[in-house]
């Protein structure tokens, strides 16, 4: 086969590969590296208010702004990073967004992924009737746009309509009622749980795939020996789905540290109340795009993107070299 392919100059290889390489390099790899490069440059800030405001954005003006600014970038080394991490105006916002992002991620790890494993275990129970129906319905929210989910939950939580509040009153928990999205304490956990509600089916399906691949004889043998469902879960099923726990963990990490849409839809670019729901994605957008009377700052935006890149890369590397290797060792 190889001899046949090598007879002439392999033009066809280039024809097959070049279109994909060009588009991918031009619209993905180049922007990522160019963006990293830009984080070492500075642009004098023009005092021109951004035209975009919450959910009422006029993109072309913003673009004109970026175009005029990028004409004379000055190399400033790590200055932007010093500003982001040291300047009180920036560092406070960055630490706040980073901290909130960790809370957002932790809620996904502690609620979404255990819940996903729990549902997956139930859905893979032997002789379960209606498995496909449950699975299909539980997965439905995952297919919808985060924007739609955000607006729906905003309405359900709205005290004027009072769907969620009415439900809590109905089950005798009326005392708990809060301005869910307006309170400093509840806003971030509530938004995080809505994200959990939307995405839980994705890890659930991945866990189901791992659970159904466990040999039935293994489970049957344990059952015959009189092992309880809990022991079968902790001593057989859980160790065998550990590789999937790792994949789910890293996917959650990358997704959470790149999130934006839900906070933007529900809490706006100012991440109300008082930036208590601000995460890196909204901070990044607000910085490079500008909001209300504050104009966008593309180079500081790229600096935040570079930090996000480092954080995501660290997470992926920990997974690849920490987790995956250990799992490979355990499983021999």
- 97-156 positions binding another protein, by CB under 8 A: 119, 122-123, 125-130, 132, 134-141, 143-149, 151-153, 155-156
Question: Closest separation between CB of residue 239 and another protein, Å?
Answer: 17
Contact 195, 108 (CB under 8 A): yes
Q: Which of 241, 235, 219, 204 is nearest to 327 (CA)?
A: 241
Site for another protein contains 35 (CB under 8 A) = yes
For another protein, the binding residue among 81, 233, 260, 323 (CB under 8 A) is 260
In the structure encoding, which two tokens stand for residue 53, read together? 């405001």
DSSP string, 195-247: HHHHHTHHHHHHHHHHHHTS-HHHHHHHHHTT--HHHHIIIIIHHHHHHHHHH
How big is the CA angle at 143 (ends 309 and 156), to the nearest 5 degrees?
95
Given a contact cutoff of 8 angstroms between Cβ atoms, the answer to whether 252 and 108 are in contact is yes
Is residue 176 within the footprint of another protein (CB under 8 A)? no
**Residues sharing a CB contact under 8 Å with residue 144, sequence separation 6 or more, in sequence order:** 198
Q: Indicate the helix (H) or strand (E) that contains 75.
A: strand 74-75
Residues 285-314 that bind another protein (CB under 8 A): 288-289, 298, 301-302, 305-306, 308-309, 312-313
Residue 11 or residue 88: which is nearer to another protein going by CB?
11
Report phi then psi at 42, rounded to 5: -130, 150
213 contacts another protein (rule: CB under 8 A): yes
The alpha carbons of the chain give a radius of gyration, in whole angstroms, of: 25
Element (H, E) at 42: strand 41-42
Task: For another protein, give the closer residue by CB, 5 or 185.
Answer: 5
Q: Rule CB under 8 A: which of 265-284 touch another protein?
A: 265, 281
Cβ closer to another protein: 26 or 330? 26
Number of residues that bind another protein (CB under 8 A): 104
**Which CB, 88 or 171, lies closer to another protein?**
171
Q: Which of 202, 240, 242, 327 binds another protein (CB under 8 A)?
A: 202
Residue 127 burial (CB count, 10 A): 5
Residue 309 CA: distances (Å) to CA of 73, 95, 159, 314: 22, 16, 39, 8
240 binds another protein (CB under 8 A): no
**Please, which residues have CB within 8 angstroms of residue 268's CB and are 6 or more apart in sequence?**
54, 55
Among 2, 44, 47, 89, interactor with another protein by CB under 8 A: 2
- C-alpha 194/C-alpha 147 separation (Å) is 12
Distance in Å, CB of 14 to another protein, minimum = 9
Q: How far is the CB of 145 from another protein (least distance, A)?
A: 4
Nearer to another protein among residue 127 and residue 293 (C-beta)? 127
Tell me the HSE value of 34 on the side-chain side, using a 13 A CA sphere: 10
90 makes contact with another protein (CB under 8 A): no
Minimal distance in Å, beta carbon 228 to another protein? 10
Tell me which stretch binds another protein (CB under 8 A): 82-90, 93-101, 174-182, 261-269. Answer: 261-269
Judged by CB, which is closer to another protein: 129, or 329? 129
For another protein, which residue of 32, 78, 176, 330 counts as binding (CB under 8 A)? 32
Q: Could you tell me which stretch among 105-113, 178-186, 256-264, 321-329 binds another protein (CB under 8 A)? A: 256-264
């Amino acid at each position: 086969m190889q001899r046949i392919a090598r007879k002439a100059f392999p033009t066809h290889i280039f024809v097959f590969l070049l279109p994909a390489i060009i588009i991918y390099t031009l619209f993905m790899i180049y922007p990522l590296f160019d963006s990293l490069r830009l984080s070492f440059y500075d642009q004098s800030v023009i005092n021109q208010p951004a035209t975009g405001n919450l959910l009422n954005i006029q993109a072309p003006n913003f673009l004109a702004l970026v175009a005029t600014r990028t004409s004379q970038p000055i190399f400033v080394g790590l200055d932007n990073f010093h500003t982001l991490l040291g300047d009180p105006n920036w560092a406070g916002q960055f630490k706040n967004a980073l901290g909130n992002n960790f809370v957002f991620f932790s809620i996904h790890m502690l609620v979404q992924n255990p819940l996903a494993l729990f549902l997956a275990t139930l859905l893979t129970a032997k002789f379960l009737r209606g498995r496909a129906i449950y699975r299909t319905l539980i997965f439905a929210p995952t297919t919808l746009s985060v924007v739609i989910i955000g607006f729906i939950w905003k309405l359900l939580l709205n005290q004027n309509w009072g769907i969620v509040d009415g439900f809590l009153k109905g089950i005798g928990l009326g005392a708990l009622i809060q301005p869910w999205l307006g309170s400093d304490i509840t806003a971030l956990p509530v938004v995080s749980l809505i994200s959990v509600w939307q995405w839980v089916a994705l890890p659930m399906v991945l866990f189901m795939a791992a659970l159904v691949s466990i040999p039935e004889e293994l489970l049957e043998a344990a059952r015959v020996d009189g092992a309880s469902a809990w022991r079968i879960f902790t001593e057989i099923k859980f160790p065998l789905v550990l590789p999937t726990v790792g994949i789910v963990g890293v996917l959650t990490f990358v997704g959470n540290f790149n999130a934006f849409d839900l906070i933007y839809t529900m809490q706006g670019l100012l991440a109300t109340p008082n930036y208590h729901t601000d995460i890196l994605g909204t901070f990044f957008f607000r910085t490079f795009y500008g909001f209300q009377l504050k104009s966008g700052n593309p180079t500081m935006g790229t600096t935040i993107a570079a930090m996000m890149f480092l954080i995501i890369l660290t997470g992926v590397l920990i997974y690849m070299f920490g987790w995956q290797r250990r799992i490979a060792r355990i499983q021999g």
